[in-house]
Structure 1
Amino acid sequence: MISSWRRRRAGRRAAKDQGRGENGDSELTIPTHFRCSISLDLMKDPVTLSTGITYDRESIETWIEAGNKTCPISNQALKSLEPIPNHAIRKMIQDWCVDNQSYGIERIPTPRIPVSSVVVAEILSEITMASKRGDQEVCLQLVAKIKALWKESERNKRCIMANNTGSLLSAAFETFAKASFNRNDAVLEEILSALALLFPLDGEAMSCLGSAASLHCMVRFLKGGDLSGRRNAVLALKEILSSDERKVNALSEIEGSLEALVKLIKEPICPSSTKASLMAIYHVVNSSFPKETIVERFVEMGLVSLLLEMLVDAERSICEKALGILDGICRSEKGREKPYDHALTIPVLVKKILRVSDLATEFSVSIIWELCKNEKREEGGVLVLEALQVGAFQKLLLLLQVGCAERTKEKATELLKLLNLHRDRLECIDSMDFKDLKRPF
């Protein structure tokens, strides 16, 4: 008798056609008609094509999705691209697995039949009708069914995506949002959680989600929803603002909307919600028609200090988004007041040059350029001296040598000229060494 460990090892070999029996001599061979003709592995979900040849579902669907419309073995044209489950072969394979348990072969589970486009279309039609008549319970059940099907398999995901699900769910969301006097938060949260699986959405869906009623609903979730509701709401807002900057004013006019976005950064739920909130704020600050009052509101909320402290040890994605927001804020006269007074501003920005990514470098140079260019002369060029002290001159010289975008090159050149005027006033130190700075932070 071989040990249990050797039995498990034998089983693994058997699955690869190399397993051995108890006597150590006999070799277990997978019957040829149990193998997929494409992968040559034991079929887990055998399906038959219109040509009568059976394959494993995963293998043949990969073949069909690649654009092939013929049978791999016979090369005959397929009358239908929808494979039919072969229950007889599957039952035989399962019986064979059970008979060979001693070799370590595990019984293949009965596969779930993938959802069809017809079934998905029927569910979506019922959701649309339920939303029009205001039937929350039915709509809840149907949306939950869509989510369950989505989680079952990659094929289901593709089928759901191909049936205009995002647009129909967005329309249902808008319908229930308009009836806000009924406080349909349960059904709205369920629809929004389903939509979060489908991002990015098309223009029709974005139009529904960007309506006044939908925006008010999502801001309500941001301000007082549960963790899941707040996460899904900010993900949706990020998508809306990135697809249509005209929604910036509509969002900013909703009471508490900007405060709710900042709160998600102050009190993070998860990395995805933090990044989504940063992106939403980025689109607000950098829209083509931002209001000065919007920037002032963000500054009053303490956003500048929050971003600077976040930048000290932020990972790449968050760092780029935070710098992008600061760049937008510093284009405003009111927005520059707080960075001028914050001790971390120049040291952190100089540190990020050539350390994170090209995008982070461009933002950092742009912010330093905005601050130094607009610094009041009566202040004696404090920021210029500080930038020089923490190694900005060397960093900018290196940046010009390694290359960068033309606009960034222009700003770096202007900064170098400005810094060069003060090089005789103090000794430059390495940008990584902040211990000699007199300003506490």
Structure 2
Amino acid sequence: MVFSWMRKKAADQEKLKKGEELVIPNQFVCPISLDLMKDPVSLSSGITYDRESIESWLDGGNFTCPVTNQVLRSFDQIPNHSLRKMIQDWGVANRSYGVERIPTPRVPVSGIQVSELLFILEDSVRSLNGRRCLELVQKVKKWGSESERDRLCVVANGAITVFSAAFDAFARDNSFETNANLLEEILSSMSWMFPLSQLHSLDHHTEAARARLGSQDSLRCLVWLLKCGDLSAKKDSLIALKELVSSDQKHAEALAAIEEASEFTSPSSSTSKAIRSELVKMGLVSLLLELTVDSERSTSETALGVFDMLCDCEEGKEEAYRNALTFPVLVKKILRVSELATQFSVSAIWKLGRHENEREKVNIFLAEALQVGIFQKLVLLLQLGCGSVTKEKATELLKTMNPCRPELECVDSVDFKNLKRSF
């Protein structure tokens, strides 16, 4: 086998020298994606797939092996280390021809690992062991950054409840500066667990988390971070406050009762409207757009959600009109990140296109949106399917922009002919 592999390797290199295309060995190709496998795993049927592809297949509600169509006896995915090593060796042997070596994949975190760590974290919170809590929070944060699968595993095991309790516990004595690093790390880790409305099967966790984050101590700490923290802390605080204010009016009222938050409220306006206006004045419109440009999925979703919220107020719309990133970023995120990100992007564009008192600015906005391909994106969105509210907004935008297309549209629809839904 070794000699045959060496002969095949020499033959491949000889073909490349003659200008022939390098062909990936069939056994290295995932039967689902038809791409080179990065993390080959075998099912109970004996067929090997790339982990990401087979997980998407199973997450879609399928219970059979895609190749054999057999009903799977178990959903265990056994890493095929021998095949992965062969793929890595093949990549190294052909890297002079542009083939990148496949890195050794990380072993996905298990529910047991998450539960054990959260149990230790709860014990550390009870004893107010800040140093130990920081280590554990950073470990969970690292898990969340490694893969979407690990992130879902962390969320599914109730991390939001433990993290919100930890935040509340270390915010109680009001010595925010002393615990600032820990509080910022906890808040940063929680930001990708929002919005809590997505945790339909974990209602008891979401209610407990909102209760902890909505306490007077936690709210006061969130306001302090919003005023005194760095840009990342401001963003995470804003996401948490948006989650609380949008979920229950009592949290908005509790926020208004905090003396330090007086600048967010005024007697002549509603609490939520005044909060949005003040957040816009702090420059958060530009911050959110910059964060969204090349961010990961959860950050994009939360940033777009907050941006959509800020577009409810006049100040937010004005700031959005002034920022050159607004329409390129919003249009780019449609059908590129997730269904939730698409929903927020369409909603924000719809709000910006309904500023009746500023028709000139709206017309300029529509021109910019058309020039970056909004019309084709919305047509594709309706073809692929979306929620009823998003569908209504997309349809209204198409009707508004259709008369302007011949003069303003710059993107050829052929640019989108191979676009497929990415979620």
Calculate the TM-score normalised by the size of structure 1: 0.59
The corresponding residue for 1:193 is 188
Q: Tell whether the 8 Å contact from 2:163 to 2:190 is kept in structure 1 after alignment.
A: yes
Report the Cα offset of residue 68 of structure 1.
1.5
Q: Which runs of 5+ in 1 are unaligned?
A: 1-17, 286-303, 325-346, 358-398, 404-441
Counterparts in 2 of 1:121-132, with a 5 A limit?
Answer: 121-132=115-126
Report the Cα offset of residue 83 of structure 1.
0.6
Q: Tell whether the 8 Å contact from 1:150 to 1:160 is kept in structure 2 after alignment.
A: yes
CA deviations 1:250-304 (Å, max 9, x no partner) are 111111314255554323154428984994897xx9xxxxxxxxxxxxxxxxxx8
CA deviations 1:202-242 (Å, max 9, x no partner) are 33322221111111111121222222222211221111000
Letter in 1 for 2:148: E
2:249 partner SS = coil
For 1:281 and 1:312, the matched residues in 2 are separated by 10
Counterparts in 2 of 1:299-378, with a 5 A limit?
Answer: 310=319, 313=322, 317=348, 320=351, 348-349=357-358
Counterparts in 2 of 1:200-239, with a 5 A limit?
Answer: 200-201=195-196, 202-239=206-243
For the structure 1 residues 107 and 355, does the alpha-carbon distance in structure 2 shift closer, same or farther, using more than 3 Å as the test?
closer
* Structure 1 residue 120 corresponds to structure 2 residue 124: no
* Structure 1 residue 173 corresponds to structure 2 residue 167: yes
For the structure 1 residues 244 and 308, does the alpha-carbon distance in structure 2 shift closer, same or farther, using more than 3 Å as the test?
closer
Letter in 2 for 1:113: V
* Structure 1 residue 266 corresponds to structure 2 residue 260: no
**Which residue, out of 256, 262, 266, partners 1:252?**
256
2:253 partner SS = helix
For 1:77 and 1:30, the matched residues in 2 are separated by 29
Q: Which runs of 5+ in 2 are unaligned?
A: 1-11, 197-205, 265-274, 289-302, 328-347, 367-395, 401-423
For the structure 1 residues 30 and 350, does the alpha-carbon distance in structure 2 shift closer, same or farther, using more than 3 Å as the test?
closer
**Which residue, out of 7, 29, 32, partners 1:35?**
29
For the structure 1 residues 169 and 39, does the alpha-carbon distance in structure 2 shift closer, same or farther, using more than 3 Å as the test?
same
Report the Cα offset of residue 98 of structure 1.
2.7
For 2:28 and 2:304, the matched residues in 1 are separated by 49
Letter in 2 for 1:81: F
* Structure 1 residue 97 corresponds to structure 2 residue 91: yes
For the structure 1 residues 33 and 212, does the alpha-carbon distance in structure 2 shift closer, same or farther, using more than 3 Å as the test?
same
Q: RMSD of the TM alignment (CA)? A: 3.8
For 1:101 and 1:186, the matched residues in 2 are separated by 43
Structure that is richer in helix per residue: 2
For the structure 1 residues 28 and 221, does the alpha-carbon distance in structure 2 shift closer, same or farther, using more than 3 Å as the test?
closer
The corresponding residue for 2:3 is none
For 1:72 and 1:25, the matched residues in 2 are separated by 35
Letter in 2 for 1:151: S
The corresponding residue for 1:388 is none
For the structure 1 residues 353 and 230, does the alpha-carbon distance in structure 2 shift closer, same or farther, using more than 3 Å as the test?
closer
The corresponding residue for 1:159 is 153
Calculate the TM-score normalised by the size of structure 2: 0.61
Report the Cα offset of residue 312 of structure 1.
6.7
For 1:47 and 1:266, the matched residues in 2 are separated by 51
Q: Tell whether the 8 Å contact from 2:39 to 2:105 is kept in structure 1 after alignment.
A: yes
Counterparts in 2 of 1:28-107, with a 5 A limit?
Answer: 28-107=22-101
For 2:94 and 2:162, the matched residues in 1 are separated by 49
The corresponding residue for 2:408 is none
For 2:304 and 2:48, the matched residues in 1 are separated by 48
Report the Cα offset of residue 127 of structure 1.
1.7
For the structure 1 residues 216 and 108, does the alpha-carbon distance in structure 2 shift closer, same or farther, using more than 3 Å as the test?
same
Q: How many residues align?
A: 302
Larger Rg: 1
Letter in 2 for 1:232: D
For 1:60 and 1:275, the matched residues in 2 are separated by 30
For 1:353 and 1:181, the matched residues in 2 are separated by 46
Report the Cα offset of residue 159 of structure 1.
1.8
